[in-house]
Amino acid sequence: MATSSSSTAATSEARWSSGTLLEKQSIHQQLKFLMSHIKGIISLTLTAENYPLWRSQVFKLFKANSFEGFLDVSCICPSPLAPSSETELSYQTWNLLDQNIAAALYSVISPSILPYVLSLEHCTEIWETIARCLQSNTRPRTIQLRNELHHLSMKNQSMPQYLLAIKSIVDAIAATGSPLDPDEVIFYTLNGLLVQYQAFKTSISTNLNLSVSTTCTHFFVAKN
């Protein structure tokens, strides 16, 4: 496993240190694209509740533009005393990229999280600090939401209102990085229905071939 990680880091570092002048010009085009479009591509800002989903989206975008090395330490900062050359990133260029990428990262972090990372110098420090602070919150949050879903009841809500409440919690669970299986969603939804829907619950429970979309249609029909 260590060999694989070392190989990945070496590959990423090589990509940044052995490019031609033309390739380095394209780096700045990629940086411009990232800075201009990150808020349009990343669908959410980081909060304490959505870290896994946010992390996945951000890392994929950075990797697509060859900037993942500034997150995972595989693009190492060159020495400011090292002589510049046409085939290696200078300290000044590396620092320019790192600071601009950090600014892009800040733009998709919510005000509640920003105070924890604003004093940090480099993109990697921001990335690692966020991971340390929020990874430990993910499992308790998932358990809490599952518990809420388990105890959610239709009560005096209409069917559309009840299904919307179900969807809100299901989406929140998905944002923790542990999405529910379709069968689990159906189970929890049936579990909270009122007693007058017992025949409907039995019908859905015994029909194992129904897709989620078909089941949702049945839920809306059942309100009548």
Predicted TM-score of the model (pTM) = 0.62
Query: pLDDT value at position 105?
Result: 95
Decide: 159 and 223 in contact? Cβ < 8 Å: yes
Tens digits of residue pLDDT in 210-223: 665 566 666 655 65
Which ranges of 65-122 would DSSP assign to H, the alpha helix? 69-72, 91-106
Tens digits of residue pLDDT in 9-44: 444 444 444 444 445 667 788 888 999 999 999 989
How far, in Å, are 23, 71, 129, 183 from residue 159 at the CA level?
57, 45, 43, 19
Query: pLDDT value at position 183?
Result: 84
Residues 112-136 have a mean pLDDT of 92
Q: How far apart are CA 92 and CA 84, in angstroms?
A: 9
Query: pLDDT value at position 2?
Result: 42
> Any idea of the CA torsion for 32, 38, 41, 46, to the nearest 10 degrees?
170
Decide: 82 and 16 in contact? Cβ < 8 Å: no
Tens digits of residue pLDDT in 175-194: 777 888 888 888 898 899 88
Q: How far apart are CA 43 and CA 21, in angstroms?
A: 34
Q: Residue 170, Cα to own-chain centre: how many angstroms?
A: 16
**pLDDT cut 70: percent of the chain above it:** 78
Residues 189-217 have a mean pLDDT of 75
**47 pLDDT exceeds 60?**
yes
